[in-house]
Structure 1
């Protein structure tokens, strides 16, 4: 049996959050301790499917974090209070990353311009 790894997906671009959560779940199913870390952004509208993926990651001993000191108040409130992401600071995340086996910067860098209103859900 292969060794279980501690894997962290770091996601700075809102467009890749849902896909990053799915990738985290995929590694969890493969018996790795996988975590998603969302930076800067308010989560897109959370569907039942995405919420089930988050719950399943937690069932498999992983987590989905909101890096709260990179977010404005609206994003923090939504991500932590409404979606239920686990709040974490940059300092706490840095300590966890020291113990990680794999760190994945997921997706393209943070957007410099806001998405058009039609894409903002």
Structure 2
């Protein structure tokens, strides 16, 4: 199922603070948003359906901040939406790729994230 709306952030597990910055998306209808800091959130810019499989790029801050998880709100339309959709906990010092898939939608959102090595996660 395609989604039309998204709000995507990386948050620390312990304090729920938004961390990192998103890279501009190659998909039309997606833009960066600054909630607590510049480009710390990714959201939609129109109500058109987004591709079933999407990939977004997030850059970790240089300072240590602990474990994170990616948190999303996804909307199909005004009446069908999910809030606090989370990935598994991501430990940026590990070399293991963390993957998690949304259970509410038959869609795949892959997040590429960078610290010292390129990694990816799915929500």
Q: Which has the higher contact order (CA 8 A, sep 6+)?
A: 1
Which structure is higher in strand share?
2
| TM-score normalised by L of structure 2 | 0.26
